Structures are given as structure tokens and as C-alpha cells.
């Protein structure tokens, strides 16, 4: 028998790669819509949130001169959200299972080969 050009490990690898990429892209898109309250499930995405007080009225509009944001009744919270993508971890999680699938396939073929001869 001639060996097939694609084996099960190749199919599993393609499915794994597509599934991992799609899950990461879907989560990244949901984080772009609401980055503060959305829960992050993917280990490839890191979120940094800086919260500061900002004055809703400009200092020129304040009648008593400059007003600190902490002392103002119109102070609002300002959220600065930074999203980072961990590329090396994504590649490790992408190629690790691919190599594992192919190693299991090679071991399985080697284990099955002596019984056929």
C-alpha cells in the first residue's frame, strides 16, 4: 500500500489551527466592543486598565478657578484600556499540539507496522 499524502494528524492539525485562530479572533473582536467588563478567557490576550478621575467641566468653565478632579462633583472615571496579544504563547499553543498529533501518528504507524509484515 502507498502512504496517503494526508493522514489523520494532518487533518487534526488543520482543524486545531483553524479553531484556535477563530476562537482568538472572536474573543479579540468582543473585547474591542466592551474592553472593560468583558471577561478574557484566552491566555493569548492581556488587558491593562488604568482608571483615573477626569473633570467633566473644563477648568475655564469653573467659576471658582481651577478645581481638582477629586474635589469636583462632576468628576467622572476615565478608563484607559490597553490590549496586548501574546504572539509567542499563541505560536507555542498552535504548534505544540500539531507536533504532538504527528508524533502520536508516527508512533501508531510504527506500532502497527510489525503486525502487517
Q: Note whether residue 111 is domain-resident.
A: yes
Domains contained in the chain, number: 1
| Cα 116 from Cα 20, distance rounded (Å) | 37
* Residue 3 counted as domain residue: no
Q: Considering the domain boundaries, does residue 2 fall inside one? A: no
Q: Can you give the pTM of this predicted structure? A: 0.61
Range of the domain at 28: 8-116
Do 25 and 73 meet the contact criterion of CB atoms below 8 Å apart?
no
Closest by CA position to 8, among listed 111, 103, 95, 116: 103
Residue range 69-114, pLDDT digits in tens: 555 666 788 888 898 999 999 999 989 988 988 888 888 888 887 6
- What is the distance between the alpha carbons of residues 107 and 47, in angstroms, rounded to a whole number? 41
Nearest by Cα to 87 from 79, 99, 76, 95:
95
Indicate the pLDDT class of residue 2, thresholds 50, 70 and 90: very low
Q: Return the closest-CA partner of residue 96 out of 40, 36, 17, 15.
A: 17
Reading the block at residue 31, the C-alpha cell is 473585547
Nearest C-alpha neighbor of 82 from the set 50, 43, 52, 51? 50
The model's pLDDT over 3-61, given as tens digits with 9 standing for 90+, comes to 555 577 788 888 999 999 999 999 988 888 888 888 888 888 898 989 888 776 655 55
- Establish if 24 belongs to a structural domain: yes
Domain presence at residue 65: yes
Please check whether residue 74 lies inside any domain of the structure.
yes
Amino acid at each position: 500500500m502507498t502512504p496517503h499524502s494526508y493522514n489523520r494528524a494532518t487533518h487534526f492539525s488543520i482543524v486545531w489551527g483553524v479553531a484556535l485562530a477563530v476562537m482568538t479572533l472572536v474573543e479579540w473582536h468582543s473585547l474591542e466592543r466592551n474592553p472593560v467588563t468583558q471577561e478574557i478567557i484566552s491566555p493569548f490576550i492581556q488587558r491593562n486598565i488604568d482608571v483615573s478621575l477626569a473633570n467633566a467641566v473644563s477648568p475655564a468653565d469653573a467659576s471658582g478657578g481651577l478645581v481638582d478632579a477629586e474635589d469636583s462633583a462632576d468628576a467622572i472615571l476615565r478608563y484607559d484600556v490597553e490590549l496586548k496579544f501574546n504572539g509567542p504563547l499563541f505560536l507555542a499553543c498552535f504548534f505544540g499540539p500539531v507536533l504532538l498529533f504527528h508524533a502520536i501518528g508516527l508512533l501508531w504507524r510504527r506500532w502497527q507496522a510489525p503486525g502487517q509484515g
